[in-house]
Structure 1
Amino acid sequence: MFQAGGLIVFCGLLAQLEGLYLPDAITLPRDLHPQPVSDLITNLKTALSGNLLAGGLLDDLTQLPLLDSLKGEAGTSGGMVGGLVGGLLGKVSSGVSLLTDIIDLQITNTKMLELGLEQSPDGHRLYVTIPLGLVLNVKTPLGSVLKLSVKLNYTVEVKAVRNEQGETHLVVGNCAHRPGSLDISLLNRVGLLPIQNLVDEFSGVLTKVLPELVQDRVCPLFNKILEGLDITLVHAITHKLIHGLQFVTKF
């Protein structure tokens, strides 16, 4: 037979249990910004791409002081490179003479392809790849000599930092040309000049000067863009990076 006293004791135990604090079994940091991962990645890439374009990156590329840099590099090199610019191949094989100076060196058809996004294995850093392309038109008083297609990628490291007031924001870490990504190819040639020699010499000099010139445009602009991103997006990204939460699943 069930005793009334036993029922009273049982109810008392239940009341005590309800007052206990039961900690969560999992102590990983909660995601305070649980928007879908695909949306977060899309929003970030869209914001970065749009602001790079709105910030005038492609226009800046057409204004690079490439001719001056090529002249400086050619002046310190020997052989054919030494006479390439500021005396463009004063003479090439077969006795074909060119005028002594390039009249114009135009950068046109600048473009930026879709940004790449990758997260470090520890989850604390993002790597944004910016693929750029342009056309280099080499002209003399006799007209265009050749057109070159140039493609190169830049990788920007993005980190989350917390200031003394406890506020978090995104900053640029390393920002540099990705080694091996520079590709220079011939688009068009004019006349019967020994073009391959010219292309080879231009490629050699461009490899030395172009990545740094473009980097001087890309990196400061990217840093400014991070400072102006939507605060909600920044909070979502910084939270994940500070706690090492993986949200980028593919490049």
Structure 2
Amino acid sequence: MFQIAGLIVFCGLLAQTTAQLGALPLDDNLPAVPISTLSDLPASLISGLSDNLLSGGLLNSLQKLPLLDTLKSGADASSGLVGGLFRKVNSVTSLLNNIIDLKITDPQLLELGLVQNPDDLRLYVTIPLGLVINVKTPLVGSLLKLKVKLNITAEVKAVEDDQKNVHLVLGDCTHSPGSLEISLLDGPVSLPAQNLLDSITRILDKSLPELVQGKVCPLVNEALSHLDVSLVQSLVGKLISGQLVIKV
């Protein structure tokens, strides 16, 4: 009796499965599924670039930026000013020259962005970076922690060599104007601390973007050269045919 009941249940399940399969479209003449729905090429590009930048030593390069030397140079340049600002400049120079330690910690590569130039075969990759700068000086009395954010924008172009092989190469690569943000993450709320923060910010506003750009852009070029070949070919093919769709 148990065996007969089991057989009835099995036959019921088989009939239900057959009905579900019968509801699926089995027409051989249906259009093929577009490759863009099978693989998100822009997302694969972003992922590949991020992985290659990290494996190429991006974070280590950021951690070794010579910020202390840059601040000292900025302080020395300011000391050449004369006139009514002399006393203020001299105070600023004293603050900066008394920095005994400056370290970059917690460098981060944030989520990359990608946009397409609709007029030609160019892509623009936004590379957002984050840093924490620890500043130690006896004039302030305790450690200052500064939070820094900066974007690098890299132009990526599709080119074809003499052997008809397609490549992605780096075009213009520069810091995004106005993207630099410096804020106090931790430290004493006092007049000396605020003066020091203002002085550091003024100098880094002028020097930090070029320092970061000089380290990051060569690594972007290397990252492009190590992308998966099949990814590059598929991406360029879609780009040339006008079928590449980047979701914002």
TM-score by length of 1: 0.75
| 1:49 partnered with 2:47 | no
CA contact (8 A) 2:114 2:246 kept: no
Partner SS for 1:135:
strand
Aligned counterparts of 2:213 and 2:129: Cα–Cα separation in 1: 11
Residue range with higher mean Cα deviation, 127-136 or 34-43: 34-43
Aligned counterparts of 1:124 and 1:225: Cα–Cα separation in 2: 19
CA positional deviation for 1:153: 0.7
Partner SS for 2:95:
coil
One-letter amino acid of the structure 2 residue matched with residue 221 of structure 1: L
Partner SS for 1:127:
strand
Q: CA RMSD in A?
A: 2.3
Aligned counterparts of 1:75 and 1:113: Cα–Cα separation in 2: 34
Aligned counterparts of 1:170 and 1:164: Cα–Cα separation in 2: 15
Aligned counterparts of 1:64 and 1:215: Cα–Cα separation in 2: 11
Structure 1: gaps (5+ residues)? 1-32, 90-99
| 1:115 partnered with 2:112 | yes
Partner SS for 1:36:
helix
Cα 1:37–1:184, aligned 2, differ >3 Å: closer, same or farther? farther
Aligned counterparts of 1:122 and 1:81: Cα–Cα separation in 2: 49
Alignment match, 1:196? 194
Residue range with higher mean Cα deviation, 163-172 or 188-197: 188-197
Alignment match, 1:72? 73
| 1:34 partnered with 2:32 | no
CA contact (8 A) 2:53 2:223 kept: yes
| 1:216 partnered with 2:214 | yes
Partner SS for 1:76:
helix
Structure 2: gaps (5+ residues)? 1-33
Aligned counterparts of 1:54 and 1:81: Cα–Cα separation in 2: 43
Aligned counterparts of 2:184 and 2:58: Cα–Cα separation in 1: 24
CA contact (8 A) 1:157 1:173 kept: yes
CA positional deviation for 1:83: 5.6
TM-score by length of 2: 0.76
Q: Deviations over 1:50-96 (max 9, x none)?
A: 111111111211111111122222221245556646x425xxxxxxx
Alignment match, 1:140? 137
CA contact (8 A) 1:81 1:201 kept: no
Aligned counterparts of 2:170 and 2:124: Cα–Cα separation in 1: 10
Q: Deviations over 1:155-176 (max 9, x none)?
A: 1000011122222111101111
CA positional deviation for 1:134: 0.7
Pick from 231, 239, 245: which aligns with 2:242? 245
Alignment match, 1:18? none
Aligned counterparts of 2:38 and 2:120: Cα–Cα separation in 1: 14
CA positional deviation for 1:195: 2.4
